[in-house]
Structure 1
Amino acid sequence: MSPDELVYLGVLAASIPIGFLFRYLSPPVKQVSALLLGLSITIATCHIHALHSLVTVLGTWVIIKSNWRRASAITLGWTFLYLLFFRLVTWFGLPAPTPFANAIQLLLTLKMVSLANEVQSFHLEKKKEVSSFSKSPVVGGLSEEPTLYGVLAYSYCYVGVMTGPFFRFQTYVDWLRQPSPLDLPGWSPCLMRLRWVPVYGALFLTANSYFPLDYVRTEDFLEHHLFFRLFYMTVVFFVFRMRFYAAWCGAEAGCISAGLGCYPEGALSKPGGGPTVIYSHDPDSPVVYDFRTIQNIDPYNTDFSVKVRHAMRYWNMTVQWWLHHYIYPNSPFKAYALKAGWTMFISAYWHGLHAGYYLSFLTIPLCIAAESAMETAVRAKLGPRGQSAFDWVHWFLKMRAFDYMCMGFVLLKAGDTVNYWRSIYFIIHVIAVACILLGMMSRGKREEKKAGKEANPDGVKQEDVREKIE
């Protein structure tokens, strides 16, 4: 492991026992302690580059106070433009930020855009109340406009400041105001979330030592058989998954120990978003809690969901919620495939400027279109056993598609990514295009049959008609 990874691991490990201590603090003490600890982590790992995050927060605060009506759109533009500057600072003669500063900046961008949307919704609901002379409760809505101190405390809260997951400002406020934090579940769900982390970590270290990524960039790699080159991408994606499974499960455990994101199951919480319904407690039955709000990964469904679109929902779940609520609905396109492509483009930009991100993320809409075409052209025409066999093949190809796209995500450079994809003959792109063409041909045949039936509704053959006339 690299020194940066060891620091990251240390922050994760320390956050778990510290979280249990925070349950003993009163709301004001909890807020200032979480702020000071988060600032300490930020300054210790980012040094002078911590100023980038501060500028982002203060800029968002000015936008919210000066123009709340357009705060969501302006803040999205502000934070994403600052991300561009942040990644190009060396062009201006400034030192390159540390990897920790990059991680903090990414999460802060999500938080600021979400905060602007929450404040905008708060003011809009307030205007509705004034015009209608009635108050309608909003699920997960703010009860008051946050102060600058509150925004800074939210931005630098030690929980997930560098490791994630993303959570909304209202989730943070609910955490501060928990009436009985010590009565909420802690040790049991925390240990449940950590139980597979040693396995993920051991598998990551073992597989990574035998199949290093840098070997893909060598001339010697290209001399191996095609099947070896195909196999290598499956191992690379396996290493990639194990690394993030371990990291994200550890980050979730840090949230659980502190009690962040703990809501009754009846609130039907969503990862990233929090409660979706107003929960009313039945005094005759015990309250069962969950931590769905801060769940960022579901390893089982990531690996065993049949479809590409479904598997994506279980990977980096809080960020998926953010994209679904703040990017996808505001896409300039109407067609599903184009809206998905736009969302993937924004996701790639958020991750970084490396061409590999864009090559990978923009392959996802192609794969989604391919699987939709094959479901219509093939699966819909099969019986139960045939559909079961189709799903197994579909799952296998889904995993290979993610293997394929992962190579762009980890190789980063356009040349390295294209060289690898060329070495396996762009196999996933070829299969995806073939599936789409097959679906188009099948749809064309169905339309011809439909047109024929409409032109000849009685089903009389044209040859029989001619014989009768003669």
Structure 2
Amino acid sequence: MSPDELVYLGILAASIPVGVLFRYLSPPVKQKAALTLGLLITIATCGIHTLHSLCTVLGTWLIIRVNWKKAPYLSLGWTFLYLLFFRMVNWFGLPSPSPFANAIQLLLTLKMVSLAYEVQSYHFEKKKDVSSFSKSPVIGRLSQEPSLYDIFSYSYCYIGMMTGPFFRYGTYVDWLEQTDPLSLPCKAPCLSRLKMVPMYAALFLGFNYLFPLSYVRTDDFMEHNFFFRFFYMVAVFFVFRMRFYSAWCGAEAVCIAAGLGCYPQGAESKPGRGPTVQYSPEPGALVEYDFKTIQNIDCYNTDFCVKVRHGMRYWNMTVQWWLHEYIYSSAPFRAYALRAGWTMLVSAYWHGLHAGYYLSFLTIPVCIAAELAMESCVRSRLGTEGQRVFDWVHWFLKMRAYDYMCMGFVLLKASDTLHYWSSIYFIIHVVALVCIAVGRLMGGKKKEKKEEESEK
């Protein structure tokens, strides 16, 4: 493990027992303590680069204060333009930000845009309340506009600062205002989320040692046969998954230990979004709780769901909700594949400026178009047994597609990515284009995604 990864691990490990202590605090003390701890972590790991996150927060606060009606679009423009400056500071003679500053900046960007939308919704619903003389039933609406102190507290809350999960300001306020946090069932869910982490970590360390990414860039690697080169991307993506399974399960445990994102099951919470229905249990009724609001990874479904488009729902789930809610839903296209492409382009930009991100993310719409074509012209014409076989083949190709795209994500450079892809003859692109062509030749109608379902 690298020194940076050890720091991440140390912060995650320490945050779990600290979270338990936070459940003993009153709301004002909890808010102040979470802010103080978050600032200490930020300054200790980022140093002078803390100024980047500070500028982002102050800029968003100013936008909300000046023009709350247009704040969502202005904050999106502000935070994403600042990301560009953040990644090009060397051009201005400034020192490059640390990986920790980059992680904080990524999560903070999501928080600030979401906050602007929540404040806009608060004002709109407040106007409706005045005109109708009744309180709006909007789920998760704010009770008041956040102050500068509230925004700072949300931005620098120690929970999820570097590893996620993303959570809305409304979720943060609900956490502060929990009436009896010590009664919440946190221990069992926390241990349940942690029980697989040692295995994921061991698999990550073992396979990372056996299949180092650096080997792909060597001349010796290219001397191996096609099947070895093809298999290597399977191993690399496995290492990639184990790394994030470990980190995100640990990050969820941090939230659970502190009680963040704990809602009654009847509220039908979704990752990132939180409660989706009003839920008021009967007095004395037994209430069961869950932590779906902060669930960021579904390891089983990531590996075993059948479709490419479904695979995205179970990976980085809170961020996927953010992308669906604020980017996909307002995309300037109607076709599902094009809307997905637009969303993936924004996601690539959010991740960074490396060409590998764009090559990988923009391959996803091609794969989606291919699977839609084959579902429409082939699967729909098969019987039950034929569809079962089709789904197994579909799953195999889905996994190989993500193996293939992962190489661009980790190699980063366009030259390295294209060099590797060419060594396996751009096989996933070829298969996808063949599937699209076959679908058109067989007269399959393009299947559009009409449901506006949040990404999970």
TM-score tier by shorter-chain length is: over 0.9
Q: CA deviation at 1:133?
A: 2.8
Which secondary structure does the structure 2 equivalent of 1:415 belong to? helix
Q: Please tell me the residue identity of whatever aligns with 1:137.
A: P
Q: CA deviation at 1:130?
A: 2.1
Partner in structure 1 of residue 118 of structure 2: 118
Answer whether contact 2:139 2:275 (CA < 8 A) is retained. yes
Do residues 319 (structure 1) and 295 (structure 2) align? no
For 2:10 and 2:170, how far apart are their aligned partners in 1? 28
Q: Please tell me the residue identity of whatever aligns with 1:106.
A: L
For 1:147 and 1:307, how far apart are their aligned partners in 2? 44
Q: CA deviation at 1:334?
A: 2.0
Partner in structure 1 of residue 147 of structure 2: 147
For 2:147 and 2:228, how far apart are their aligned partners in 1? 57
Q: Please tell me the residue identity of whatever aligns with 1:177.
A: E
Identity %: 75
Which secondary structure does the structure 2 equivalent of 1:16 belong to? helix
Partner in structure 2 of residue 64 of structure 1: 64
For 2:91 and 2:294, how far apart are their aligned partners in 1? 37
> C-alpha deviations, 1:115-159, integer Å up to 9, x for none?
000000111111122222332221011111000000000000011
Q: Please tell me the residue identity of whatever aligns with 1:260.
A: L
For 1:285 and 1:119, how far apart are their aligned partners in 2? 34
Q: Please tell me the residue identity of whatever aligns with 1:24.
A: Y
Aligned CA distance change for structure 1 residues 234 and 350 (closer, same or farther; 3 Å): same
For 1:445 and 1:252, how far apart are their aligned partners in 2? 41
Partner in structure 2 of residue 23 of structure 1: 23
Do residues 191 (structure 1) and 191 (structure 2) align? yes
Partner in structure 2 of residue 451 of structure 1: none
Q: CA deviation at 1:162?
A: 1.4
Q: CA deviation at 1:284?
A: 4.9
Matches within 5 A, 1:277-316: 277-316=277-316
Answer whether contact 2:376 2:444 (CA < 8 A) is retained. no
Partner in structure 1 of residue 424 of structure 2: 424
Partner in structure 2 of residue 39 of structure 1: 39
Q: Please tell me the residue identity of whatever aligns with 2:104.
A: I
Partner in structure 2 of residue 12 of structure 1: 12
Do residues 436 (structure 1) and 436 (structure 2) align? yes
For 1:148 and 1:281, how far apart are their aligned partners in 2? 34
Answer whether contact 2:373 2:445 (CA < 8 A) is retained. no
For 1:204 and 1:444, how far apart are their aligned partners in 2? 42
Do residues 163 (structure 1) and 168 (structure 2) align? no
Q: Please tell me the residue identity of whatever aligns with 1:67.
A: N
Q: CA deviation at 1:187?
A: 1.1
> C-alpha deviations, 1:399-443, integer Å up to 9, x for none?
000000000000000000000000000000000000000110111
Partner in structure 1 of residue 343 of structure 2: 343
> C-alpha deviations, 1:375-404, integer Å up to 9, x for none?
111111111001000000000000000000
Partner in structure 2 of residue 101 of structure 1: 101
> C-alpha deviations, 1:349-389, integer Å up to 9, x for none?
00000000000000001001100100111111111001000
Partner in structure 2 of residue 275 of structure 1: 275
Matches within 5 A, 1:118-267: 118-267=118-267
Q: CA deviation at 1:445?
A: 10
For 1:75 and 1:331, how far apart are their aligned partners in 2? 17
> C-alpha deviations, 1:243-270, integer Å up to 9, x for none?
0000000000000000000000000001
Which secondary structure does the structure 1 equivalent of 2:69 belong to? helix
Which secondary structure does the structure 2 equivalent of 1:142 belong to? coil
Aligned CA distance change for structure 1 residues 82 and 285 (closer, same or farther; 3 Å): same
Task: State the superposition RMSD in angstroms.
Answer: 1.1
Q: Please tell me the residue identity of whatever aligns with 2:394.
A: H
For 1:193 and 1:141, how far apart are their aligned partners in 2? 29
> C-alpha deviations, 1:284-342, integer Å up to 9, x for none?
53100000000000000000000011111000000000000000111122222111100
> C-alpha deviations, 1:198-234, integer Å up to 9, x for none?
0000000000001000100111111101000000000
For 2:294 and 2:381, how far apart are their aligned partners in 1? 40
Partner in structure 2 of residue 456 of structure 1: none
Q: Which runs of 5+ in 2 are unaligned?
A: 447-456
For 1:121 and 1:281, how far apart are their aligned partners in 2? 26
Partner in structure 2 of residue 369 of structure 1: 369
Tell me the TM-score normalized by structure 1: 0.94
Which secondary structure does the structure 2 equivalent of 1:68 belong to? coil
Q: CA deviation at 1:178?
A: 0.2
Larger radius of gyration: 1
For 2:36 and 2:70, how far apart are their aligned partners in 1? 31
Q: Please tell me the residue identity of whatever aligns with 2:395.
A: W
For 2:393 and 2:435, how far apart are their aligned partners in 1? 13
Tell me the TM-score normalized by structure 2: 0.97
Which secondary structure does the structure 1 equivalent of 2:443 belong to? helix
Matches within 5 A, 1:384-395: 384-395=384-395
For 2:103 and 2:434, how far apart are their aligned partners in 1? 39
For 1:213 and 1:101, how far apart are their aligned partners in 2? 24
For 1:368 and 1:8, how far apart are their aligned partners in 2? 34
Answer whether contact 2:165 2:251 (CA < 8 A) is retained. yes
Q: CA deviation at 1:75?
A: 0.2
For 1:338 and 1:383, how far apart are their aligned partners in 2? 30
